[in-house]
Chain A
Amino acid sequence: MREPRSADDHRCIDADADVGAWIARFLPTLRRALVARNGLADGSDAAAEAAAWAWEHRGELAGMTNPAGYLYRVGQSSLRRRRFRDRQRSSLIPDVVARDSPPFDDALFAALKRLTEAQRVSVVMVHMYGFSYRDVADVLDVSEAAVTNHVHRGLARLRRIVPPADEGTHR
């Protein structure tokens, strides 16, 4: 098992550590990543299922080298049950929320939807939330090089398709 780099390191859990506290620390990160990939409703629900799974299987979690990446996959897999989704559920931010969230940069969120899932998660986690490439790589269970590539391509595409702020923002 790797040594944690810091108190916030979510890559491994010491067997003696409080698993519940670890889940509490990691859940916001997991939820943001799953929402970025799957939209608000499905992403939030997937994070909830993953958190529930994590608590039930906390013994297994403690022995994993990358529990963060594992829970991300658990969340993704949980969505398989959610076969029936209409467009509203799969929106990154549904209209009903957007209307009540001024100022809402709908052009930016619409453009984010046009990225590939991996690009979207990487861009949102790195540049919206300020996570490190290493942290995002752990969550997605891919290499840092892959995250770098996703971020670079995602930003380049956003630059091409995002209109200026004053053309796409609800005020």
Chain B
Amino acid sequence: MSEFDAIIHRLGAAAATLDGAIDRYASGDVRFGPPAYAHVLTKVAAGVIVTGGVVAVPLVAARTGDDGRGAPSSPSAASTATVPLASAPDLVGGPTLPGDGQTFTDQQAWDAIDWLDSLAPYGPEGNRYEHLIVQDQLEKCMNERGFEYHQIPFTAPPQPRRAGYVRVPPLPTEEQVKAVGYAAFANLGGASAPPPSSDAEDVPATTDPELIEANTANDELAQSSDWSLALYGGDTKVGSCIGDAFGFIEEQVGTEAKARYSAFIGTILQLAAPLDHPEGALAAALEEWRSCMGPLGGEVQSPVRAVDLYDALLDTEPSDEEIATALADLRCRQSSGFRDAYRDAMAAGIANFRYENEGRIDDLEAATRRETEALRELAGELGLLEPDA
């Protein structure tokens, strides 16, 4: 079984875990603090789902004024060229290990995150070579199995390395908060903002006519289950074309960078999220913020995460309650020093990581460079690169 097929297998095996968690949450077995809306589910289940609509539903918190059609008004996605490995910012600044209390600039914090992301195997150039090779292999494999396949052209994904990370965008002004509520926090992200979360904004590739054409053609072909099975697998004896394609790359290029990166993955996932284990100045600022917010904080355990704020952009008119809460949040973030403490904790964590793992990181970066170059050579040998590439 190829590595790709193994991931497909693991995804399938994880369905029971996720369904089990959903069932437990719906049953009230899992709670993270009131109020939660799961009670609505229970009542719906009792009144509608089970009886098929015979019993009237005791609606709780139904939003009759919200038709769910809020027009996304996300800020324009900013350019996010990944920091090249060779120019990764040096936050360590010498042999002294950064400790609690060290301060960083915003730019240093963003650069630290970008550097962290740049550790992922291959990098932007390698991703392009990999895509070209995979598509070439897919077409050959599918043709050998008697199927047609249309290669999907490469398009750089939008801010792929920003997604999922906690960000500390600049704080808005009070006037901005009064005008748009929590949307002000997100709109001010500017160049350091996370990507918009609306589906419409998340499919920039649909503007590429070649991509649309290839995808549409493959969609038609995918109506045949045999075609889908050949491409994505399902029969572990025969394997999938996409699994074979990635397996081919692994054979030709190697997997050292991935193996080295895997050894860091647990740490990397935690580094950019210091709120998971707040310590020192961050813990103190967090406590100060909670105290400052008082009852307005509700069930909140920390200031709203920047990524989450994009949900606020789905609707247009903030309520008075939202504006009042957002104003309080703004003032509490300022008075508690939370934002700076968060930034410093995040940057210090990454700096420590670099300092403590310097040798291993050097090895990883060297392996990445070797494999990216090997990918480029392989793509060239297969005739997939422009003559001057």
B130→A156 contact, CB < 8 A: yes
Check if A62 is an interface residue, CB within 8 A of chain B: no
A20→B130 contact, CB < 8 A: no
Chain B residue with Cβ nearest A95: B276
Contacts of A165 in B (CB 8 A): 6, 10
Shortest CB-to-CB span from A96 to chain B, Å, is 6
Known pairs A45-B36, A49-B63, A51-B44; A105 contacts B10 (CB<8 A)? yes
B12→A145 contact, CB < 8 A: no
B68→A80 contact, CB < 8 A: no
Shortest CB-to-CB span from B271 to chain A, Å, is 13
Q: How far is it, in angstroms, between the C-alpha of A83 and the C-alpha of B315 when the chains are bound?
A: 13
Shortest CB-to-CB span from B285 to chain A, Å, is 15
Chain A residue with Cβ nearest B270: A110
Contacts of B237 in A (CB 8 A): none
Instruction: Report the count of interface residues on A (CB-CB < 8 A).
Output: 97
The secondary structure that dominates the A interface is helix
Q: How far is it, in angstroms, between the C-alpha of A82 and the C-alpha of B53 when the chains are bound?
A: 28
Known pairs A41-B25, A77-B315, A84-B299; A56 contacts B11 (CB<8 A)? no
Q: Which of chain B's residues 263-296 have a Cβ closer than 8 Å to chain A?
A: 263, 265-266, 269, 273, 275-276
Q: Which of chain B's residues 41-70 have a Cβ closer than 8 Å to chain A?
A: 41, 43-44, 47-54, 57, 59-64, 66-70
Chain B residue with Cβ nearest A102: B17
Contacts of A87 in B (CB 8 A): 166, 273, 275-276, 302, 305
Q: List 9 A-B contacts (CB under 8 A).
A: A35-B18, A35-B22, A41-B36, A52-B43, A80-B315, A86-B32, A97-B21, A104-B17, A124-B11
Chain B residues with CB under 8 Å of chain A are 3-4, 6-8, 10-15, 17-22, 24-26, 30, 32, 36-38, 40-41, 43-44, 47-54, 57, 59-64, 66-70, 120-122, 130-131, 134, 152, 157, 160, 163-164, 166, 182, 195, 197, 199-200, 202-203, 205-206, 211-212, 215-216, 218-219, 222, 232, 242, 246, 258, 261-263, 265-266, 269, 273, 275-276, 297-302, 304-305, 308-309, 311-312, 314-315, 322, 325
